[in-house]
Amino acid sequence: MGRFILRRLVLTIPVLILVSIGIFSLIHLAPGSPLTAILGEERADPEVVAVLTRRLGLDQPPPVQYLTWAGHILEGDLGYSYQLRMPVAKAIGDRLPVTIQLAVISVVLSLLIAIPLGILSATHRGSWLDLLSGALAALGSSMPAFWLGVLLILVLAVQLHWLPPYGFVPFSQDPWGWAKSLLMPSFTLAVGYTAILSRLVRASLLDVLSEDYVRTARAKGLHQRVVIWRHALGNAMLPVITVVGLETGRLLGGAVLTETIFALPGVGRLAVDAVVGRDLQTAQAVTLLMAGALLLSNLLADLLYGVADPRIRYD
């Protein structure tokens, strides 16, 4: 297991290097100048512009700028945000807990709904329950997150006044307010995620239920519930774990839009503000963090294979 983890971590190094090059290139090719965002639209003193250009390293060729930025990243220095007037690491550290809470709640909510729904659809194949589940999954997967978020705000916040329309309340300050502030954003992220997982659980479980060992378990007189939960579900969850690993990392990217709609002070909204304000250091660091989260979630998914199926060994 240790050798497998070490090998996977080593293989992520060239991937992160390629990702960092792409991030650096795309952000620097975007229109606008960070000097304008810092100094304002009005005509600035040329001496101030020259000093700030040298301080930011913008007078260097792009390859030199990239190597300088990458060297600082390796030293743990993510740069300084002139827009926020603080180090980028502190800005991310202050907002990362909100994004993690949002992602974890969304994943848990999706699994709690998708797994039972997929099992019911597979065990009642062709019934009205299966058809209703398929229709809801198609609706959920085709519904844009921004449209659903705005709809929830209009209905639950503006019309019914059940939940706050925007903002975030820390758990330590008010647990009930914390739950209400994250309910709509979490549900917005979880809808599309649940639709994909429920249909995947259904398809995977139907394949497993046709295997010989499942028929043997039924021939022994075992109850249907025992056959499903003890014999079939473990193998059926293997492809589900793959999708969970991929989609969990992508939730950080999906949180960009959701956090903006609900005005959550998370990493996603920080990325949007950084791109709009041409805060290059912050935008680069946040995008690289999201790429690293996706790679880490894939590694965790591979490790969970061994938990779901003891026959898998990482030799």
Spatial separation of the C-alpha atoms in residues 91 and 80, rounded to whole Å: 9
Q: Render pLDDT for 133-166 as a digit per residue (tens, 0 to 9).
A: 888 888 888 888 888 889 999 999 888 889 888 8
Q: Render pLDDT for 219-258 as a digit per residue (tens, 0 to 9).
A: 777 777 777 777 777 777 777 877 777 777 667 666 788 8
Choice between 160 and 5, residue whose per-residue pLDDT is larger: 160
Q: Does residue 32 surpass a pLDDT of 70?
A: no
Three-state SS for 273? helix
User: How sure is the predictor about 176, in pLDDT bands with cuts at 50, 70 and 90?
Assistant: very high
Q: Does residue 298 surpass a pLDDT of 70?
A: yes
Q: Does residue 132 surpass a pLDDT of 60?
A: yes
> In the chain, which segments carry CATH 1.10.3720.10?
89-308
Choice between 187 and 278, residue whose per-residue pLDDT is larger: 187
Mean pLDDT of the chain, nearest integer: 81
Q: What is the CATH architecture assignment of 89-308?
A: Orthogonal Bundle (1.10)
Whether the CB-CB separation of 301 and 308 falls below 8 Å is answered with no
Question: What does the DSSP 8-state code read for residue 159?
Answer: I
Lowest mean pLDDT among 165-169, 179-183, 303-307: 303-307
Question: What does the DSSP 8-state code read for residue 232?
Answer: I
Residue 171 backbone phi and psi in degrees, to 5: -65, -40
* The pair of three-digit structure tokens given for residue 100, joined into one six-digit string: 């993690």
Mean pLDDT of 188-215: 84
Q: How long a stretch of residues is the chain?
A: 315
Choice between 35 and 44, residue whose per-residue pLDDT is larger: 35
User: How sure is the predictor about 184, in pLDDT bands with cuts at 50, 70 and 90?
Assistant: very high
Spatial separation of the C-alpha atoms in residues 219 and 269, rounded to whole Å: 56
Distant-in-sequence, close-in-space partners of 80: CB < 8 Å, separation ≥ 6: 86, 87, 88, 281
Q: Does residue 42 surpass a pLDDT of 70?
A: no
- Give the pLDDT of residue 278: 78
Nearest Cα residue to 284 out of 38, 65, 50, 36: 65
Whether the CB-CB separation of 306 and 314 falls below 8 Å is answered with yes
Whether the CB-CB separation of 293 and 249 falls below 8 Å is answered with yes
Distant-in-sequence, close-in-space partners of 224: CB < 8 Å, separation ≥ 6: 123, 218
Nearest Cα residue to 81 out of 272, 282, 269, 265: 282
Residue 172 backbone phi and psi in degrees, to 5: -65, -25
- Give the pLDDT of residue 154: 92
What one-character-per-residue DSSP string does 71-99 give? HHHHTT---EETTTTEEHHHHHHHHHHHH
- Give the pLDDT of residue 312: 62
Mean pLDDT of 76-101: 86
Give the rounded percent of residues in the chain with a pLDDT score beyond 90.
Answer: 4
Whether the CB-CB separation of 16 and 292 falls below 8 Å is answered with yes
